[in-house]
Chain A
Amino acid sequence: MDMPTPNPAILAKKPRLVERLLHVLPADAVIHLEAETRAYECDALTAYRCPPMVAVLPETTQQVSAILRICHEMGVPVVPRGSGTSLAGGALPTADCVILGVARMNAVLETDYENRFIRVQSGRTNLSVTGAVQENDFFYAPDPSSQLACAIAGNIAMNSGGAHCLKYGVTTNNLMGVTMVLMDGTVVEIGGAHLDASGLDLLGVICGSEGQLGVVTEATLRILRKPEGARPVLMGFDSNEVAGECVSDIIKAGLLPVAIEFMDRPCIRATEAFAKAGYPDCEALLIVEVEGSDAEIDEQLEKIVAIARRHNPVELRESKSADESARIWLGRKSAFGAMGQINDYMCLDGTIPVSQLPYVLRRIGEMSKEYGLDVGNVFHAGDGNMHPLILFDANKPGDLELCEAFGADILRLCVDVGGCLTGEHGVGIEKRDLMVNQFDPDDLDIQMAVKDVFDPQWLLNPAKVFPLAASEARRAA
C-alpha cells in the first residue's frame, strides 16, 4: 500500500508545532521524541508502519479543540486514534502527521437507566461501557471481537459490528449523539438523549467516516436491558450448501437468533487441533444462539432444531447449561488464535448476500488452490459478513504480496455477487484501492464532497478510504 510522500515543508514545522502544542497540553501529553513516537507507528494492520511526527494525548474536548486549531492553522495533517486496533490501517500515521490519541479520555459522564443511555468520553473501551452498566443488568450491544481493547471512538469511526448485529444492529443503530471537534477547532453537539435528527442526519454520516470528518470526543450510546439468558445450538453439515440452506430456512421461519456463526472445514480442523472443543469433523458448522427466559429459549431452540433435522445434520448439540454453552462457543472464540498458531494470517471482512454463501465458499476454495495459500472461513452467517482468514508466512519474501492479491480477489468476488468490500472493519488503507470496484467515480466524488464540507483542507486522516489517485487533487489543494 502506498502512502503519500511526507511533505518536507510540514516536517520543517515540527519544532514550532511542538512548542505550540506544549502551550495547550501538559508535557507528558505531547510525544515528539523519535524513540517514543514509535509506539504509535501502526495499528492492528501491523504489516504497515510509520512513526508520526508527533503524538498528542488530550484529556478534554477543549484540549482536542486547541490541538486541532493549531494543526489547522499550521496546515498539519491529523490522524485520530482510538485504541489502535484497526485491522484496516485506519490509524496508520504518515511521517508528517500528528497522531491524536483519545486513550486518556475514558470517563463515564452520565448514566441514565430511566431513559436508557450512557454518555462517555470516546476513548473508553467498548467492553468497559458495558462494564459501567452491567451491575444494573444493562449492556451496550455492539460487540466487536476486539471489544476488550477497542475504543468507542474507533467503533464510531468504523461503524463497528460484532457477532450479535443480526438482532441488535451495529454501532450506527446504537449511537444517539456525539460531541465532535471539527478540524478548525469548532465544537459541535449532534443528537443526544432523544431519537432521530430534525434536519439532515449528520450523525448518520459521521458514524463510519473513519475519522475524516471530525474528532468525536464524547458519545451518547443506547444501553439495553440484558436478556434473561442465552443458549446456543451447534450443528454440523456435510456441505456448505446445506448449511447455507439451513440458515435461510431458520430466518424464513420467523426466528431471529441473536447470532448465527458459520465455520468451514479448514477452520473447524485448525480450531479443533488448538482448542479441542469437541467439534465434529465436517464440512460446515453452525452455532445458532437465541435469547430469553429458559422457556422462551426452549421454544425457539425446538423450532431451530426441527429445521436443522430436515437438513440431515451430522451433529446436533443443543446446550442445556452455561457449561455446555461455553464449550460450544469455545472453538468459535478460539478460531482466530487457532489460525494464528498455524501461520501469519490476514483477516478479510467482505459481506455477501446470504443466498450467495455456497457459491462464494466454493470460489474461495478454488482460488486457494490457485494461489497456493490456505484459507479458513469463519463468519456471521445471519448477515453475510464473511471473515476469510488467509494464511501466509510474513518471513517469506513475496508471501504478503501474494496474500494481498488473493484477498483482493476475494473482495472483488464479494462485490461481484452483490455484496461489499467491508462489513465492519472499515476501508482504511487496506481496501482503499479496491473502492473503484464497488463505486463509480461519481459515487466516490459525492462522498469526498462531504469531506470537503467538514474538512475543506483535507487535513483529517487524508490518505485513507479513497484511492490516492481519486483524492489527490483535493489533498494537494
Chain B
Amino acid sequence: MITPRTEAELADAIASAAMPLRVIGGGTRSVVPMSNAAVLSVSGLSGITLYEPGSLTLVAQAGTPLAQIEAALAAEGQRLAFEPMDHRGLLGTTGTPTIGGVVAANVSGPRRIQVGAARDFLLGVRFVDGAGRVLKNGGRVMKNVTGYDLVKLMAGSRGRLGVLSEVAFKVLPLPEVSVTLVLQGLDDAAAVRAMSQALASPFEVSGAAHWPGQGTFLRIEGFAGSVAYRAAQLREMLGGEIEESAQRWTEIRDVTPFHAADGDIWRVSVKPSDAPSIVAGAGAEAVLYDWGGGLIWLRMAPGTDLRARTAAYQGHATLVRANADTMAQLPLEQPEPAALAALSSGIRAKFDPRGIFATETDPLRAVAS
C-alpha cells in the first residue's frame, strides 16, 4: 500500500504509477478495485488546516477522519449540515471514514432535502490529477464564481478524476432543539403526499422519511421557541405525535433496517411523486423512503436487475451492495445517454489520460505505461 504523507509525495506517487491505483480514504465506502490495482491510501494526509467558526469555514486534508472533523465542529456548536451517512453497517466494511471519502462519493443524509448535498457545501478542493499535477479549484469563501466550478465536478467523482488532497467546507450551526413528528398508518402513496405537504409548508422541515411498518417521520430543528411553534403547526396540518429521539435519524441516514439482512441494496433518486409506483413495480423485499420520497432504498433478491423492472422515469438507480457476480454483471451506476457518456468519458480522459484511476467495473482504458 502506498501511503503518501504530503501532497508532494502524493503527486510523485501518481506521476510514477505504472499500474492502476485503487484510491482509498478509510476504505469504508468500497468500490470494486481493478484486480491488478495498487492501493493508494490518502489516510496519511490528515489534519484540520483551518477552522473559523465566525466565517462558517473549515478546511481539512482529505484523509482527516470524519469523526475528528465532527468533534471539532461540535465543540463550537457547528456541524456538517448535509449529514453524511456512515456506510460501514450497510456495506459490512471496517475502518475510519474520512472527509475525502465523503466528498469523493458526495455522501449526504436526510437533511439533503432541506439544505443540499455534500457538493453544495464544498467550497474548494486541492487534488492531484492522473498526470500527477497538483491542482486547485474554488477556495475557502462561500461565494466564488471565478472560473469553472470543478469543485462540483470533483464531488461525487469517486476518485475517477484525481485524488483529493484538501477540501474546504461551509459549515452551519447546530440547532438548539430537534424534534420529530411521527405519522402512523400511512401507505406509501399517502406518506409521500404527506411529506410533500410538509416540505411545501413554511415550517422548514429538515428531514422527511417513510419507513414502512415504523411510520412517517418529519424532523424540525432550530431554536426552542421556533421548533415548538413549527412542530405544532405541522401537527395541526397532518396529525401525528411528537417525539424527541435523534436516534431515529441516524438509523434512517445509515439505512440501519437493511444492515442485518441479506440481499442486494439499491439506491434510487427520483421525483418524489413517482416513488410509490416505482416501488410497486420493483418487487423489493424491503423499502425505505428518504428525502420526502426523492430517495428510495430497496433491498432486492440477489441478482435482480432493478432497472429492468421499472418503466422509464426521471432519475437514476445505483447498485450499492451485491455479491461479486452481480457487481460484475450489472453497471453500478445508471448508464448515461450516449451524448452525456461521451462528455463524461471525454472529461475523464483529460483528467486521467493514462487511465490510472480506472476500476474493474468501469475501465476507462488500460494504463499506457
Proximity string of chain A (197-221) to chain B, C-beta cutoff 8 Å, 1 when within and 0 when not = 1111111110111000000000000
Q: Min CB distance, B113 to chain A, in Å? A: 8
Closest residue of chain B to A446, judged by CB?
Answer: B135
Q: Min CB distance, B293 to chain A, in Å? A: 9
**Is residue A351 within 8 Å, beta carbon to beta carbon, of the partner chain?**
yes
Cα distance A450–B129 in the bound complex, in angstroms? 13
| Inter-subunit contact A197/B55 (CB<8 Å) | no
Q: Which residues, 55 to 100 on A, are CB-close (under 8 Å) to B? A: none
**Is residue B202 within 8 Å, beta carbon to beta carbon, of the partner chain?**
yes
Q: Which residues, 40 to 58 on B, are CB-close (under 8 Å) to A? A: 52-57
Cα distance A198–B156 in the bound complex, in angstroms? 8
| Inter-subunit contact B143/A161 (CB<8 Å) | yes
Q: Which residues, 372 to 411 on A, are CB-close (under 8 Å) to B? A: 380, 383-385
Number of interface residues of B (CB under 8 A): 83
Interface of B is mostly: mixed
| Inter-subunit contact A443/B340 (CB<8 Å) | no
Proximity string of chain A (439-462) to chain B, C-beta cutoff 8 Å, 1 when within and 0 when not = 110111011011111100000000
Which of B88-96, B170-178, B237-245, B256-264 lines the interface with chain A? Answer: B170-178
Residue from A195, A292, A293, A444 in contact with B112 in the complex, judged by beta carbons closer than 8 Å: A195
| Inter-subunit contact B143/A385 (CB<8 Å) | yes
Q: Min CB distance, B234 to chain A, in Å? A: 12
**Is residue B116 within 8 Å, beta carbon to beta carbon, of the partner chain?**
yes
| Inter-subunit contact B271/A207 (CB<8 Å) | no
Which of A9-17, A26-34, A37-45, A245-253 lines the interface with chain B? Answer: A245-253
Which of B28-36, B62-70, B144-152, B281-289 lines the interface with chain A? Answer: B144-152
Closest residue of chain A to B349, judged by CB?
Answer: A453
**Is residue A426 within 8 Å, beta carbon to beta carbon, of the partner chain?**
yes
**Is residue A472 within 8 Å, beta carbon to beta carbon, of the partner chain?**
no
Q: Which residues, 160 to 192 on A, are CB-close (under 8 Å) to B? A: 161, 165-166, 169-170, 172-173, 182, 186, 188-190, 192
Q: Min CB distance, B281 to chain A, in Å? A: 17
**Is residue A242 within 8 Å, beta carbon to beta carbon, of the partner chain?**
no
**Is residue A286 within 8 Å, beta carbon to beta carbon, of the partner chain?**
no
**Is residue B163 within 8 Å, beta carbon to beta carbon, of the partner chain?**
no
Q: Min CB distance, A477 to chain B, in Å? A: 15
**Is residue B213 within 8 Å, beta carbon to beta carbon, of the partner chain?**
no
Proximity string of chain B (300-333) to chain A, C-beta cutoff 8 Å, 1 when within and 0 when not = 0000000000000011101000000000000001
Residue from A196, A256, A383 in contact with B143 in the complex, judged by beta carbons closer than 8 Å: A383
Residues of A within 8 A of B135 (CB): 442-443, 446
Proximity string of chain B (155-199) to chain A, C-beta cutoff 8 Å, 1 when within and 0 when not = 111001100000000001111100000000000000001001001
| Inter-subunit contact A255/B143 (CB<8 Å) | no
Q: Min CB distance, A188 to chain B, in Å? A: 5
The answer to whether A205 and B149 touch (CB under 8 A), given A252-B76, A454-B343, is yes
Residues of A within 8 A of B223 (CB): 296, 299-300, 303
**Is residue B294 within 8 Å, beta carbon to beta carbon, of the partner chain?**
yes
Q: Min CB distance, A388 to chain B, in Å? A: 15
**Is residue B75 within 8 Å, beta carbon to beta carbon, of the partner chain?**
no
| Inter-subunit contact B149/A207 (CB<8 Å) | yes
Q: Min CB distance, B358 to chain A, in Å? A: 14
* Residue of B55, B56, B57, B133 with highest tally of chain A CB at under 10 A: B55
Q: Min CB distance, A227 to chain B, in Å? A: 5
The answer to whether A197 and B156 touch (CB under 8 A), given A422-B145, A452-B350, is yes
The answer to whether A194 and B271 touch (CB under 8 A), given A201-B106, A202-B343, is yes
Cα distance A161–B121 in the bound complex, in angstroms? 15
Residues of B within 8 A of A165 (CB): 142-143
Residue from B141, B145, B333 in contact with A418 in the complex, judged by beta carbons closer than 8 Å: B141
The answer to whether A225 and B76 touch (CB under 8 A), given A192-B314, A254-B173, is no
Residue from A198, A420, A424, A454 in contact with B333 in the complex, judged by beta carbons closer than 8 Å: A198
Cα distance A207–B153 in the bound complex, in angstroms? 11
| Inter-subunit contact B202/A196 (CB<8 Å) | no
**Is residue A116 within 8 Å, beta carbon to beta carbon, of the partner chain?**
yes
**Is residue A106 within 8 Å, beta carbon to beta carbon, of the partner chain?**
no
**Is residue B217 within 8 Å, beta carbon to beta carbon, of the partner chain?**
no
Residue from A200, A248, A292, A452 in contact with B54 in the complex, judged by beta carbons closer than 8 Å: A248
| Inter-subunit contact A201/B152 (CB<8 Å) | yes
The answer to whether A423 and B141 touch (CB under 8 A), given A198-B318, A202-B340, A251-B54, is yes
Residues of B within 8 A of A442 (CB): 133-135
Residue from A112, A115, A200, A252 in contact with B344 in the complex, judged by beta carbons closer than 8 Å: A200
Q: Min CB distance, B138 to chain A, in Å? A: 8
| Inter-subunit contact B119/A204 (CB<8 Å) | yes
Proximity string of chain B (96-122) to chain A, C-beta cutoff 8 Å, 1 when within and 0 when not = 000000000010100011001101100
Cα distance A359–B160 in the bound complex, in angstroms? 40
**Is residue A36 within 8 Å, beta carbon to beta carbon, of the partner chain?**
no
Q: Min CB distance, A455 to chain B, in Å? A: 11
Q: Min CB distance, B283 to chain A, in Å? A: 21
The answer to whether A383 and B147 touch (CB under 8 A), given A116-B199, A450-B347, is no
Closest residue of chain B to A414, judged by CB?
Answer: B141
Cα distance A352–B139 in the bound complex, in angstroms? 10
Residues of B within 8 A of A439 (CB): 136, 147
Q: Min CB distance, B301 to chain A, in Å? A: 23
Residues of B within 8 A of A293 (CB): 226, 229
Q: Min CB distance, A252 to chain B, in Å? A: 5
**Is residue B200 within 8 Å, beta carbon to beta carbon, of the partner chain?**
yes
**Is residue B77 within 8 Å, beta carbon to beta carbon, of the partner chain?**
yes
**Is residue A193 within 8 Å, beta carbon to beta carbon, of the partner chain?**
yes
Residue from A172, A204, A353 in contact with B141 in the complex, judged by beta carbons closer than 8 Å: A353
| Inter-subunit contact B106/A205 (CB<8 Å) | no
Residues of B within 8 A of A443 (CB): 135-137, 147
The answer to whether A420 and B129 touch (CB under 8 A), given A188-B339, A449-B350, is no
Closest residue of chain A to B228, judged by CB?
Answer: A295
| Inter-subunit contact B145/A158 (CB<8 Å) | yes
**Is residue A282 within 8 Å, beta carbon to beta carbon, of the partner chain?**
no
| Inter-subunit contact B142/A383 (CB<8 Å) | yes
| Inter-subunit contact B141/A199 (CB<8 Å) | no
| Inter-subunit contact A205/B153 (CB<8 Å) | yes
| Inter-subunit contact A420/B141 (CB<8 Å) | yes
Q: Min CB distance, B189 to chain A, in Å? A: 12
Q: Which residues, 1 to 58 on B, are CB-close (under 8 Å) to A? A: 52-57
Residues of B within 8 A of A186 (CB): 339
Cα distance A351–B334 in the bound complex, in angstroms? 38
| Inter-subunit contact A204/B272 (CB<8 Å) | no
| Inter-subunit contact A225/B119 (CB<8 Å) | no
Residues of B within 8 A of A418 (CB): 139-141
- Across the A-B interface, give the 4 residue pairs with the lowest CB-CB distance, nearest first: A204-B152, A248-B54, A423-B143, A254-B173
Using A256-B173, A446-B150 as known contacts, list a sample of 6 further A-B pairs with CB atoms less than 8 Å apart, ordered by residue number in A. A113-B200, A196-B119, A300-B226, A354-B55, A418-B141, A449-B350
A-B contact pairs, 19 of them (CB 8 A): A114-B272, A159-B145, A165-B143, A169-B116, A193-B271, A194-B294, A195-B112, A198-B316, A199-B333, A199-B336, A200-B347, A201-B153, A254-B173, A355-B52, A384-B141, A435-B146, A447-B147, A452-B350, A453-B350
